[in-house]
């Protein structure tokens, strides 16, 4: 099963490699990993999307908690949560394709953020599945470049991960 694990970690050099090292050393999957400082600059918030049986996920959270720099760990998938990912995608958009491309971006609520003679760069946010769907919907030969951030997650309602 796919799980979204959120981690609050001291914003210290090496913390990221400790966490990614833990995943590789113990053979856990990482589908994506995002990290950036929080409103408190001394702390970073990390979202790891992983997969595994319940036992494996339990071990992952326990092992993460054991790391000295990890402040808190939550498996967001245990309850309602929101997941978002940002994608920037550069597509071929010559005079022929322009209109179609723009329409497609609109349908997916994307925004064209850069334009050249023959390209568009489209910004799209949403659940990973939506980004996948957008890519699927395009003429594959029109895709020049994609870059995705990986998922960030947050609990719904009063579920708060903070010290």
Partner 1 sequence: MDRIKTEELSGAEIVVRCLQAEGVEYVFGYPGGAVLWIYDELFKQDKVRHVLVRHEQGAAHAADAYSRSSEKVGVCLVTSGPGLTNAVTGIATAYMDSIPMVIISGQVPTHAIGEDAFQECDAVGITRPCVKHNFLVKDIRDLAVTMKKAFHIATTGRPGPVLVDIPKDITAQRHEFLYPDSVTMRSYNPVTKGHAGQIKKAVALLQEAKRPMVYAGGGVILSNASAQLRELVKAMGFPCTNTLMGLGGYPGTDAQFLGMLGMHGTYEANMAMQHCDVLIAIGARFDDRVIGDPKHFAQNLRKIIHIDIDPSSISKRVKVDVPIVGNIPDVLKEILKQVDVQKADQPALKAWWKQIDEWRGKDCLKYDRKSKIIKPQYVLEKLYEITGGDAIITSDVGQHQMWAAQFYKFDQPRRWINSGGLGTMGFGLPAAMGAQLANPGATVACVTGESSIQMCLQELSTCKQYRIPVKIINLNNRYMGMVRQWQQFFHGNRYSESYMDALPDFVKLAEGYGHSGLLIDKPEDVEPALRETFKRKKDLVFLDFLTDQTENVYPMIPGGKGITEMILSEEL
The correct pick among 2, 14, 143, 147 for binding partner 1 (CB under 8 A) is 14
Which residues, 47 to 76, sit near partner 1 by CB under 8 A? Answer: 55, 58-59, 62-63, 65-66, 68-71
Name the minimum Å distance from CB 32 to partner 1: 22
CA distance 142 to 139: 5
Name the minimum Å distance from CB 137 to partner 1: 43
30 binds partner 1 (CB under 8 A): no
Contacts of residue 124, defined as CB under 8 A and 6 or more positions apart, other chains included, come to 86, 87, 88, 89, 105, 108, 109, 110, 111, 130, 131, 134
Tokens of 99: 């209109």
β-pair partners for 32: 49
* Binding-site ranges for partner 1 (CB under 8 A): 9-10, 13-14, 17-18, 21, 25, 55, 58-59, 62-63, 65-66, 68-71, 163
């Amino acid at each position: 099963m796919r799980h979204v694990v959120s981690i609050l970690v001291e914003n210290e050099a090496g913390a990221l490699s400790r966490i990614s090292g833990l995943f590789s050393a113990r053979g856990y999957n990482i589908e994506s990993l995002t990290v950036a400082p929080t409103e408190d600059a001394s702390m970073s918030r990390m979202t790891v999307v992983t997969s595994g049986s319940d036992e494996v996920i339990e071990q992952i959270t326990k092992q993460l908690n054991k790391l000295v720099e990890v402040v808190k760990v939550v498996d967001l998938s245990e309850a309602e949560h929101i997941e978002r990912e940002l994608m920037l995608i550069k597509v071929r958009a010559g005079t022929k394709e322009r209109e179609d491309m723009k329409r497609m971006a609109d349908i997916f609520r994307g925004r064209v953020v850069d334009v050249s003679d023959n390209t568009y760069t489209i910004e799209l946010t949403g659940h990973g599945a939506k980004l996948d769907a957008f890519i699927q919907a395009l003429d594959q030969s029109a895709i020049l470049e994609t870059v995705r951030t990986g998922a960030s997650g947050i609990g719904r309602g009063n579920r708060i991960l903070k010290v």
